[in-house]
Amino acid sequence: MAKNSIDGVALITGSFAEAGARAIILADINEGNAQKAAETARKYASHPDFRTLIIGVDIADAESVQKMIDVTVKEFGRIDYAVNGAGSDECQYLMLCVRAEINAMLAQETRKITSRSGERDIGRGVILNVGSANSYAGLPAKMAYTVSKHAVTGLTKMAALDHAADGIRVNAVCPTWVRTPMVEEECRRNPTVMQTVEAIVPLKRMAEPEEIADAVVFLCSPSASYVTGTGTIIDAGVTLTVHMH
């Protein structure tokens, strides 16, 4: 994982380890996954006072999400980076509404913190949504999934416009297959998944989580201080061609 220079408090849903921050809050309905991500984050940590905090959260429950934000602010006094990575294959429309609500809640909290602490440094105040390559392309017989992923990019663009005046940048990363616990479970249930990956991914493999994390860290860092409202495709070239499989 690249050692980008970011300093601050990162709130991450979906057990997604991030490097370089002063503190990482890992919020997941599966606290075991969050613990594993925390261990990974500690390996890559570059800040001398690095801390992790694990919070159990159900992102489909507004009260649970608000509690996650409240605990984070009480413990660390601020949220500099929020990576909205938790997801599910179930009820895509509901998940989109939840993402929109989380974006709004995080932006509101960031504005409150900013009003108390004054001007922010350039590159601070970032919301990062996790979409998919299907945010830009379609899958046969996957209407709900594809429409919801397209909507993530729309949500990202509108949130970026709505919160630009507050100094909050909002972007998305849009990967294809990533070797996550959820995808590995899918591979165990359906051996043809890897055959599909090898057939249509030009690099003939899934992405490793660290490869997506590098893009996330860059978009959160001051190096991306002029980047907002974008969806960065991370797909090893999948969307470059038409697939006839």
127 is a domain residue: yes
Q: Which candidate in 149, 157, 204, 226 is catalytic?
A: 149
Mean pLDDT of the 84-106 span: 57
pLDDT band for position 8 (cuts 50, 70, 90): confident
Whether 245 maps to a domain, the answer reads no
Domain assignment present for 221: yes
Helix axes 62-76, 92-117, angle to 10 degrees: 30
Task: State if pTM tops 0.85.
Answer: no
Task: For residue 138, give its domain range.
Answer: 9-240
Average the pLDDT over 71-98 and give the result. 70
Quote the percentage of the chain above a pLDDT of 90. Answer: 21
Asked if 135 contacts 149 with a C-beta cutoff of 8 angstroms, the reply is yes
Give per-residue pLDDT as tens, 151-197.
Answer: 888 889 988 998 898 889 999 999 998 988 778 888 999 989 999 89
CATH code where residue 150 lies: 3.40.50.720
Residue 2 belongs to a domain = no
- Structural domains counted in the chain: 1
- Residue 86 placed within a domain: yes
pLDDT of res. 96: 54
Q: What is the pLDDT of residues 210-241, one digit of tens each?
A: 899 899 989 999 999 999 999 999 999 988 87
Cα–Cα distance list, 205 to 177, 208, 236 (Å): 8, 9, 9
> Does some domain include residue 1?
no
The catalytic position among 36, 67, 145, 157 is 145
In a domain, 206, yes or no: yes
pLDDT band at 11 (very low <50, low <70, confident <90, very high): confident
Residue 4 lies in a domain: no
Q: Write down the pLDDT at residue 188.
A: 92
Is position 93 annotated as part of the catalytic site? no
